[in-house]
Amino acid sequence: MKPILQVHELAKQYGDFTAVKGVSFEIGEGEIFSLLGPNGAGKTTTISMLACLLQPSAGEASIAGHSVRREPQAVKRLIGVIPQDIALYPSLSARENLHFWGQLYGLRGKERGQRVEDVLELVGLRERAQDRIEKYSGGMKRRINIAAGLLHRPKIVFMDEPTVGIDPQSRRAILDMVKAFNQQGMAVLYTTHYMEEAEELSDRVGIIDHGELIAAGTQRELTERIGSTETLVLHIDESQDANQLAHALEDLPGVIQSTVTDHQVSLVTPSAREVLAGAFGRAEALGTRVRSIDIQEPNLEAVFLQVTGRALRDN
């Protein structure tokens, strides 16, 4: 697959703090690549550099061969940026907003009019297009926010956590939209801290934490890295000490890793069934009541847990 985006040792430094530490990856034409990581991992900073909003401190990135450092105008014609927060004019209607952003992308006349109607159709808001954005629900605003970044048929779309803080229905609609415009040939760089979204959408996933790209590949490649392990999750009462239990389970035979998230303890193990009895025994000895358990097959959460030593939800 021909790469549309190439990133090589890209870094961003703010004084003594390094936000992004030399990340490298590629995205092929028409591919969906997710950057999965907790808040503050460096996802937004990476996208900002690729969108020519921030000058990299080191490294290089190019879109279809155009350098983000030296040819920002050429890069901006090829990318569509969908910001994390709604970036629209509340007092303008959806259609007025889209025409405005279309003009800034250089679209003219009938072509612009057609594209505006196309993206309104794509996001399912054609019949409400005359309404002002300020009258829209949060989910509808998100959909127009996405539509504004697709008007000029970008080669690659950067989406920075587009589902943060929205209801499940709108989230579902957005994920379906990403698939729909991806099917039209647009590559997608999608950042998220929701493992389920990365799993559902991505052709490949990059795991980023503390500014470093720790692992990248298809989901199969990533889960194979952790071998045939399972994750046993013990849910305990809020009044009880999860840290104490996790500590007590660390040296339980068969447990590779023990971590705490909120009121649950996760154990990475080759066989959940084999450690289950021992885990219950030690919990009972500590006087900790286990309310329920989950056994998870190898997934990105487990991968993140293993490569960072922390659960995604810890952050």
Partner 1 sequence: MKFLALLRKELTVLSRDRLAVVMILIAPLVMTTVMKLAFGNIGNGTNLPIIPVAVVDLDNGQIGSALVNLLESDALSDLIVVTEVEDLETARDLLETHAVDAVVAAPANLTEAIFSGSGGEAAISVYGDPGQPFAVGVVRGIVQRFTQYVAAGSTSVEVTFQQLIETGRLTEVTHAMKGEVGERAAFAALESDLVSFNEVLSGIESVKSEFNWFKFYALSMASLFILFSMVTAARTLLADHELGTLTRMRTTPTSPGTIFGSKVTGMVLIGLVQTIILMLTARYFMGMTWGDPLAVAVLTIIMVLSAAAFGLAVASFCRSTAQLNVAGAAVVMILGAVGGNFMPRIIYPEIMRTLSLIGPNAWVIEAFQKVVLLNGTLSDITTEILALLGLTVIFSVVALFGLRRLVR
Cβ at position 111, least distance to partner 1 in Å = 13
- In 3D space, the residue among 225, 260, 268 whose CA is nearest the CA of residue 244 turns out to be 260
The Cα–Cα gap between 51 and 259 comes to: 36
91 binds partner 1 (CB under 8 A): yes
DSSP 8-state symbol, 82? E
92 binds partner 1 (CB under 8 A): yes
Cβ at position 84, least distance to partner 1 in Å = 9
Q: Are 308 and 214 in contact (CB under 8 A)?
A: yes
Chain centroid to Cα 204, Å, comes to 12
Q: Are 133 and 90 in contact (CB under 8 A)?
A: yes
Query: In this chain, which stretch among 90-98, 162-170, 185-193, 224-232 interacts with partner 1, using CB under 8 A?
Result: 90-98
Distances (CA, A) of 236 to 54, 232, 255: 44, 13, 18
If the CB atoms of residues 53 and 64 are measured against partner 1, the closer one turns out to be 53
Placement of tokens 């072509």 in the chain: 111
Residue 15 phi, psi dihedral angles, 5° rounding: 60, -120
85 binds partner 1 (CB under 8 A): yes
Cβ at position 75, least distance to partner 1 in Å = 9
114 binds partner 1 (CB under 8 A): no
108 binds partner 1 (CB under 8 A): yes
Type and span of the H or E element at 282: helix 272-286
Q: Are 232 and 207 in contact (CB under 8 A)?
A: no
Site for partner 1 in 21-80 (CB under 8 A): 51-53, 73, 76-77, 79
123 binds partner 1 (CB under 8 A): no
Cβ at position 94, least distance to partner 1 in Å = 14
The Cα–Cα gap between 16 and 79 comes to: 31
- Grouping H, G, I as helix, E, B as strand and the rest as coil, residue 188 is strand
If the CB atoms of residues 90 and 309 are measured against partner 1, the closer one turns out to be 90
Q: Which of 39, 103, 114, 184 binds partner 1 (CB under 8 A)?
A: 103
Query: In this chain, which stretch among 99-107, 193-201, 256-264, 301-309 interacts with partner 1, using CB under 8 A?
Result: 99-107
Placement of tokens 């690729």 in the chain: 50
Site for partner 1 in 199-228 (CB under 8 A): none
89 binds partner 1 (CB under 8 A): yes
- In 3D space, the residue among 75, 15, 7 whose CA is nearest the CA of residue 35 turns out to be 7
- Binding residue count for partner 1, defined by CB under 8 A: 26
Q: Which of 39, 100, 196, 250 binds partner 1 (CB under 8 A)?
A: 100
If the CB atoms of residues 154 and 298 are measured against partner 1, the closer one turns out to be 154
The Cα–Cα gap between 197 and 201 comes to: 6
Q: Is 279 left (phi over 0), alpha (psi -120 to 50) or beta?
A: alpha
Query: In this chain, which stretch among 24-32, 85-93, 210-218, 277-285 interacts with partner 1, using CB under 8 A?
Result: 85-93
148 binds partner 1 (CB under 8 A): yes
The Cα–Cα gap between 253 and 255 comes to: 6
90 binds partner 1 (CB under 8 A): yes
If the CB atoms of residues 54 and 208 are measured against partner 1, the closer one turns out to be 54
**Which residues in this chain contact partner 1 in the complex, by CB under 8 A?**
51-53, 73, 76-77, 79, 81, 83, 85-92, 96, 100-101, 103-106, 108, 148
